[in-house]
Structure 1
Amino acid sequence: MTDSPVSDSSGGSFAITTVNVNGIRAAVKTRNENNHGMLPWLSAHSTDVVLLQEVRASEALTRKALAPALDDGWHLVMTESAVKGRSGVGILSRTEPAAVRIGFGSDEFDPLGRYVEADFDLGGATVTAASLYLPSGAALTDDPKDVEKYEEKNRFLDEFGPYLDRLLTSGRQVVVAGDWNIAHTERDIKNWKGNRKNSGFLPHEREWVGARIDSGWVDVARRHHGDVDGPYAWWSWRGKAFDNDSGWRIDYHLATPTLADRLTRTWVDRPDAYDRRWSDHAPVTAEFA
């Protein structure tokens, strides 16, 4: 692993991890001796909360896939998508949440299972941890399917932006993390020149993220790592993208200022070899005092 210390919640800190599992049933499989799968990873890391995206399974099937972890004391809350085999987000936690809220009040997107948040007593304070799977979208072309994906993502941004604004002014300590499907700056994508017209790096998408940060949300990984390339957490399965670290930083935590000020470190659990991957995304963890 690269830059992947194990957190120690016994010292008063707590850690929140986000990872797009790209199908929970696939993520827990151990395909060969070099692919350890999600469950051994979960056992080896003492993170307190794991925010899951693209679960792509019913709650019953997800609980079956995660049975060893749940038997070991982990708690699961999740959403199910109205479209079978699509989307779905969840929250795994070592302690049972005090409250759970599914969706953000959207008639269109809540049934698709793209957002869930839960309250936890972490570090002596109530912290809201939210798992987000933002639509991937598409570049705007003459293809009707691309047009629909492009417009769908824009509708999501239009609805979700005001919800984030309300969270920011709620007075709560909140972190919204997940697969944002938007690389904010040129530092967040290796081949930014070749992706200027592609979904995930379109000007209006980047401006939308920038507006959230300008309003007060803190990109804790960018604050921690500074003005450097990456660290990336998604690489295509194709070609040599992973080996060449030709990735995207689209998995990140946005935190309210009070919580962000408690950040101690953040890291990407990048596997040390291609065949040790159990998703095309790597877990990203933020630790708070």
Structure 2
Amino acid sequence: MPRPFRIATANINGIRAAHRRGFDDWLATRGCDVVTLQEVRCPVDALPEGAFGDYHAAYDAGELAGRNGVAVLTREPAAAVRTWSAPDPASPLPRALRKHATEGRYIEVDLADVPLTVASLYLPKGGLPAHLQPALPNEGSLERPRRMREAPDGGAKYARKMAFMAGFARHLAASRKAAAAKGREFLLTGDLNVAHQRHDVAAYKRSNQVEGFLPEEREWLGQQLTPRTLVDVVRRLHGDAPGPYSWWSWLGRAYDEDRGWRIDYHLATPGLARAARAYEVDRHHLGQRISDHAPVVVDYELS
């Protein structure tokens, strides 16, 4: 029986911090053929020595210091690499995405050893719409409503995220079709900052008015998933049951009690989804959390 083709995705919350927590050892021993990363948060010239081990890295750090940054690590050099900071003139970005072109949020590669295009996405976190926010505090006030993690902004971050998602839906469809035209399957991985279904959040009733689980966000993700376009691979393998969560707050006992969110995905074209055989969420490595997210690892049986 051939060895499975192993693909992992991980939001590492900063490559330098992740290295201090054992990411380099996880990478060296996990046996992945492809690893996609989000929130690398580091310019190329400041990467730790041997940051990606023996892998070849397609990397877009973006221009926002200490924020974002995406990568795809492969055993063989990629046959082609596409980023938003260097878009293809023949396939321009949707207008809603152009303001994000230098933020280090998306990269895709054509693998050299199998007919597959793999993308890494870090979708904006967003915020609450204006009608779910309390009134803005008086000028100069430091008051922050208890039920909000950030100060009210009148819905600005929410509007930014929704515009991004609308533009990205068009971009995603174009990328998937371009891969198909070249005889390639397509896999979107990454931190989408959206939990799709009830089983994707531990505290369902308390999450209905929280960014990342708003009805319109969930509807958007559902629109990207159909039996003929993209399949949620881990949900298909896991079945209709709670979890498996991939993000937990650093606060309190959320991690210890497995009260998390599933926001890190493998979304595959149907042919690739049918080749998925097993998955695992690497909650910790050698007893230590690498990030507030955990790598999501899927084994595909590819010829």
TM-score range, shorter chain: 0.7 to 0.9
199-208 or 164-173: which moved more?
A: 164-173
Q: 2:78 aligns with which of 78, 82, 97?
A: 97
Output the CA distance in 2 between the equivalents of 1:39 and 1:68: 7
Task: Compute the displacement of 1:68 (Å).
Answer: 5.8
Q: Give the secondary structure class of the aligned counterpart of 1:169.
A: helix
Output the CA distance in 1 between the equivalents of 2:285 and 2:70: 27
Output the CA distance in 1 between the equivalents of 2:285 and 2:172: 35
RMSD (CA atoms): 1.8
Greater percentage in helix: 1
Output aligned runs, 1:157-176, within 5 Å.
157-170=165-178, 171=180, 172-176=184-188
Matched, 1:177 2:189: yes
Distance 1:168 1:99, change over 3 A: closer
Q: 1:264 aligns with which of 255, 274, 277?
A: 277
Q: Once superposed, which parts of structure 1, at least 4 consecutive aligned residues long, lie more than 6 Å away?
A: none
Q: Is the 8 A contact 1:28 1:66 kept in 2?
A: no
- Describe the superposition over 1:236-260 as per-residue Cα deviations: whole angstroms up to 9, x where unpaired: 0000000110000000110011111
2:242 counterpart residue number? 229
1:253 counterpart residue number? 266
Q: Is the 8 A contact 2:195 2:262 kept in 1?
A: yes
Output the CA distance in 1 between the equivalents of 2:279 and 2:4: 12
1:147 counterpart residue number? 155
Q: Give the secondary structure class of the aligned counterpart of 1:145.
A: coil
Q: Is the 8 A contact 1:182 1:250 kept in 2?
A: yes
- Describe the superposition over 1:155-174 as per-residue Cα deviations: whole angstroms up to 9, x where unpaired: 11011001112233331301
Output the CA distance in 1 between the equivalents of 2:16 and 2:70: 14
Task: Compute the displacement of 1:67 (Å).
Answer: 1.1
Q: Give the secondary structure class of the aligned counterpart of 1:28.
A: helix
Output the CA distance in 2 between the equivalents of 1:145 and 1:56: 25
91-100 or 173-182: which moved more?
A: 91-100
How many residue pairs match? The answer is 267
Q: Give the secondary structure class of the aligned counterpart of 2:175.
A: helix
Distance 1:272 1:120, change over 3 A: closer
1:208 counterpart residue number? 220
Output the CA distance in 2 between the equivalents of 1:146 and 1:59: 36
Output the CA distance in 1 between the equivalents of 2:116 and 2:126: 30
Structure 1: segments with no counterpart, 5+ residues: 1-9, 31-36
Q: Is the 8 A contact 2:52 2:73 kept in 1?
A: no
Q: From the CA coordinates, give the structure whose radius of gyration is larger.
A: 2
The residue type equivalent to 2:122 in the other structure is Y
Task: Compute the displacement of 1:61 (Å).
Answer: 1.5
Distance 1:66 1:89, change over 3 A: farther
Matched, 1:81 2:62: yes
Q: Is the 8 A contact 1:39 1:66 kept in 2?
A: no
The residue type equivalent to 1:201 in the other structure is F
